[in-house]
Chains A and B, each alone.
Chain A
């Protein structure tokens, strides 16, 4: 190995340069729109406990997150208790999705009656591939009607060519429920071109970066074809390190205005809109 000179980084993004200098982005706090909480059966997650998540958020300058704990996704008896407690304990750091398990929809009316009383709920989380029930199934209809009436967010797991949550189902629902802001979790890996097309053509559909944002060239394509206003930052944290996805954004070749939209501004506008509408309803 004979090299001694280290090449200067050609990426002229001021935000990328700041990150490489400091090891974190101090001038622009991150908002993570796709997170979980707690341990998960299939993998070891060192940062899974909530106190460690909060410490990591502080270290990485993550302003706040929107979360759906694993207990809500996979333990029908526990339901949404963990996120309600976390939001009550950390109201400025944690917002929540109300997670719906379609196999236990018998108590949905009671739960929805409580939804409006919990300040930090901003929408719903669906996980059709894991729950083995399609996004367009009838059991979700009361959820969609409720969310549409209030202009809520809906984060759904999406996957290309899935029988339960392909991007085509999001397109169908987005036309039917125009007041819901649909966040396509993972942006449908295996079918991202279609997901980008749906986000570009429907005003209430957004691309979410978890998983697919790492692929070389994909963020630039999303911004080029659907605009930076239609891409939101998400990571599955505590699964994945938000800094990893931040690097994928910072080095995607887009400009700093577009980076700000993805890392912070779009999420602030989406959640801010939900909270404003909630305040108006009283």
Chain B
């Protein structure tokens, strides 16, 4: 079976490492990080993972644009093992994030996935701050990674404003999130969950039963999580081989194929 990890970070955090337990509750704990793409590929090879979507920790700790350049460079030097994702910021302050500048740059760098850290970068993830970028991201079917680590309200609000936006939930902590995510899965057909923090017993089966396997993307959240945990949770989940294969890589490949750039 082909596995593509939908969420890995490379580079060192300023403080090693901020672990999300659940929303607004972090633990500071040292983990084994991947300094660069080469070290991450060693981790992928150890676990038999074909490819990985990467972010760079400098997106969070230095600046989105600074980290974006590093992520693109690491991906470019990896063959096609690493798929870069970029962080966004408000175009009203940084014009390089206006659609007319951002999308050609993404195309040139082979970037098809975006991320937003609104609390960290101190902006509001909504129409007032992010128009027209979010509308364009939605209409071009570019997946946007969001984390509820600073609370669920921004995710609920942005989906109310942009109900067709493709959102991939990531880094949500290990407490079960079902009371917060099941309503989103029910209301928004383009809402997906990356499975790195999906540790709750029976949850993969439950989501497949209620919403279908097409709503989950295998991911690890490396290095917050060792890849082996989410890998075994999916492999040992008891769902059908077909559903497992879709989660392992098929769903992500489908989403990437739908991006219009």
Interface residues of B in 156-211 (CB under 8 A from A): 174-176, 178-179, 199-203, 205-206
With both beta carbons as reference points, the residue of chain B lying nearest to A246 in the complex is identified as: B232
Query: Across the interface, which residues of B come within 8 angstroms of A249, CB to CB?
Result: 228
Shortest C-beta distance, B34 to chain A (Å), equals 9
Given A239-B176, A251-B227, the answer on whether A189 and B27 have CB atoms closer than 8 Å is yes
Is B202 a contact of A52 with CB atoms below 8 Å? yes
Is B235 a contact of A19 with CB atoms below 8 Å? yes
Is A216 a contact of B230 with CB atoms below 8 Å? no
With both beta carbons as reference points, the residue of chain B lying nearest to A245 in the complex is identified as: B229
With both beta carbons as reference points, the residue of chain B lying nearest to A189 in the complex is identified as: B27
Interface residue? A252 (CB, 8 A) = yes
Is B27 a contact of A190 with CB atoms below 8 Å? yes
Is A56 a contact of B47 with CB atoms below 8 Å? no
Is B225 a contact of A46 with CB atoms below 8 Å? no
Query: Across the interface, which residues of B come within 8 angstroms of A219, CB to CB?
Result: 226
Instruction: Kindly state the separation between the CA atoms of A193 and B205 in the bound complex, as whole angstroms.
Output: 35
Of B33, B50, B178, B236, chain A has the most CB atoms within 10 Å of the CB of B236
Of B28, B228, B231, B235, chain A has the most CB atoms within 10 Å of the CB of B228
A45 interface neighbour in B45, B200, B236, B253, Cβ under 8 Å: B200
Interface residue? A228 (CB, 8 A) = no
Instruction: Kindly state the separation between the CA atoms of A253 and B47 in the bound complex, as whole angstroms.
Output: 10
Given A193-B30, A216-B223, A246-B236, the answer on whether A239 and B200 have CB atoms closer than 8 Å is yes
Shortest C-beta distance, B78 to chain A (Å), equals 11
Is A47 a contact of B201 with CB atoms below 8 Å? yes
Interface residue? B256 (CB, 8 A) = yes
Instruction: Kindly state the separation between the CA atoms of A250 and B227 in the bound complex, as whole angstroms.
Output: 11
Is A190 a contact of B29 with CB atoms below 8 Å? yes
Is A46 a contact of B202 with CB atoms below 8 Å? yes
Interface residues of A in 139-171 (CB under 8 A from B): 160
Query: Across the interface, which residues of B come within 8 angstroms of A47, CB to CB?
Result: 201-202
Is B235 a contact of A23 with CB atoms below 8 Å? yes
Given A189-B27, A245-B229, the answer on whether A251 and B202 have CB atoms closer than 8 Å is no
Is A251 a contact of B228 with CB atoms below 8 Å? yes
Query: Across the interface, which residues of A come within 8 angstroms of B229, CB to CB?
Result: 213-214, 244-245, 247-248, 251
Instruction: Kindly state the separation between the CA atoms of A56 and B236 in the bound complex, as whole angstroms.
Output: 11
Interface residue? A78 (CB, 8 A) = no
Interface residue? A276 (CB, 8 A) = no
Stretch touching chain B among A1-9, A87-95, A173-181 = A1-9
Query: Across the interface, which residues of B come within 8 angstroms of A42, CB to CB?
Result: 175
Interface residue? A85 (CB, 8 A) = no
Instruction: Kindly state the separation between the CA atoms of A245 and B199 in the bound complex, as whole angstroms.
Output: 9
Interface residue? B107 (CB, 8 A) = no
Shortest C-beta distance, B208 to chain A (Å), equals 12
Is B179 a contact of A44 with CB atoms below 8 Å? yes
Q: Chain B, interface size: which category?
A: 35 or more
Interface residue? A75 (CB, 8 A) = no
Instruction: Kindly state the separation between the CA atoms of A236 and B229 in the bound complex, as whole angstroms.
Output: 15
Shortest C-beta distance, B243 to chain A (Å), equals 13
With both beta carbons as reference points, the residue of chain A lying nearest to B34 in the complex is identified as: A216
Instruction: Kindly state the separation between the CA atoms of A214 and B31 in the bound complex, as whole angstroms.
Output: 10
Interface residue? A60 (CB, 8 A) = yes
Instruction: Kindly state the separation between the CA atoms of A52 and B178 in the bound complex, as whole angstroms.
Output: 18
Instruction: Kindly state the separation between the CA atoms of A212 and B229 in the bound complex, as whole angstroms.
Output: 11
Interface residue? A107 (CB, 8 A) = no
Is A242 a contact of B45 with CB atoms below 8 Å? no
Instruction: Kindly state the separation between the CA atoms of A215 and B16 in the bound complex, as whole angstroms.
Output: 12
Query: Across the interface, which residues of A come within 8 angstroms of B203, CB to CB?
Result: 46, 241
Is B232 a contact of A244 with CB atoms below 8 Å? yes
Instruction: Kindly state the separation between the CA atoms of A117 and B50 in the bound complex, as whole angstroms.
Output: 55
Given A241-B200, A248-B229, the answer on whether A43 and B29 have CB atoms closer than 8 Å is no
Instruction: Kindly state the separation between the CA atoms of A242 and B224 in the bound complex, as whole angstroms.
Output: 18
Of A45, A189, A216, chain B has the most CB atoms within 10 Å of the CB of A216
Query: Across the interface, which residues of A come within 8 angstroms of B205, CB to CB?
Result: 46
Interface residue? B75 (CB, 8 A) = no
Is B31 a contact of A211 with CB atoms below 8 Å? no
Given A60-B236, A248-B229, the answer on whether A216 and B19 have CB atoms closer than 8 Å is no
Given A24-B236, A214-B226, the answer on whether A242 and B31 have CB atoms closer than 8 Å is no
Query: Across the interface, which residues of B come within 8 angstroms of A240, CB to CB?
Result: 174, 199-201
Interface residue? B233 (CB, 8 A) = yes
Interchain residue pairs with CB less than 8 A apart (7): A6-B1, A193-B30, A211-B21, A217-B223, A239-B176, A251-B229, A251-B232
Instruction: List 20 additional A-B contacts (Cβ < 8 Å) besides A251-B47, A253-B46.
Output: A3-B50, A6-B48, A10-B46, A46-B178, A47-B201, A160-B29, A193-B30, A211-B174, A215-B19, A215-B224, A215-B225, A215-B226, A216-B223, A216-B227, A241-B233, A241-B237, A244-B199, A244-B230, A244-B233, A247-B226
Q: Point out residues on A near B: beta carbons under 8 Å.
A: 1-3, 6-11, 16, 19-20, 23-24, 42-47, 52, 56, 59-60, 160, 189-190, 192-193, 211-220, 237-253
Sorted nearest first, the 5 A-B pairs with minimum C-beta distance are: A247-B232, A251-B228, A217-B32, A9-B48, A243-B236
